[in-house]
Each structure stands twice: as C-alpha cells, then as structure tokens.
Amino acid sequence: MSLRPEMKRYTYRLLLTFCVYAIALVGANMWFRHAPPSGLLAYVVAILPALPIMGVFVVIGRLLVEMRDEYVRMLMVRQSLIATGFALSVSTAWGFLEGFGLVEHAQGYWTTVLWFAGLGLGGCFNALTEWRAAR
C-alpha cells in the first residue's frame, strides 16, 4: 500500500527533525563536556536540542492541517489529546509530590517524554476503539 502524499511529507519532515535533534543533542553535550561555553552563548547552546523537539510539534500540527481524511484526522487529534492529558496529569501530580518533598526534582524535559509516551497510549486507545468497532 502506498503512503498518501501528506504522510510522505510528514515522514520526511519528522526524520529530518529528529536528525537535527540528534546532531544538536550530541553537539551540545560534547561542547559542554569539552569546552563549556559561558554567558549568553551557554544558554543558546543549551537550548539548541530543544528547538528540533519544538519542530516535531510543528510537524505534527502541519500533518493535521494537511490531512484530507477527516476520520483519520479525528483519530490523530484524539491521540494527541490523550498524550497531552497524560503528560500534564503526570507532570502535575509529580509537581505536587515534589512540592511536599516526597520525590526528587525531575527535569522539565521529561514532560515531553511523557507526551510521546502518551502518544503511544493514544495510539493504543485508537487501535482498541477500531478493533471494537470492527467486531
């Protein structure tokens, strides 16, 4: 089965964005490990790996806009909403636990990791819903 044009563009954009992320992450880590920058440059270098991750959200948004099949778009929106609810719920609960001194501090970027895990949960939910509908 051939991919639809919007899915081909999405796949290309996503691969490109993750390649840029890998380069930025490795580069920033090496820079800080071997010749740590200082001042404003340190902030710029530290933020570099975050920029492609922000780009992933733009890539997903563009796919939602470009998608022609409204049912598949609805499934992706639901999947994204599940991911968002999951990430925000876990982050909020962790924040309260941290505030009461019950758990250690977690770096903020873990919320993005939770969001991607939630995207997987949303995909599983969509698959289960589709399976039930086919029965």
Number of helices (H), then strands (E), belonging to the chain: the values are 5, 0
Note the pLDDT tens digit of each residue in 27-86.
999 999 999 999 999 999 999 999 999 999 999 999 999 999 999 999 999 999 999 999
Residue at a domain's end among 42, 68, 94: 68
Provide the number of structural domains found in the chain.
Answer: 2
Q: Same domain, yes or no, for 58 and 95? A: no
Q: Same domain, yes or no, for 1 and 62? A: yes
Q: State the burial class of residue 71 (Cβ atoms within 10 Å of its Cβ: 0-12, 13-18, 19+).
A: exposed
What burial letters (b/e) apply to 19-31, b meaning 16+ CB within 10 Å? ebbeebeeebeeb
Q: Same domain, yes or no, for 14 and 55? A: yes
Structural domain that includes position 31: 1-68
The Cα–Cα gap between 14 and 19 comes to 9
pTM: predicted TM-score of the whole model, two decimal places? 0.89
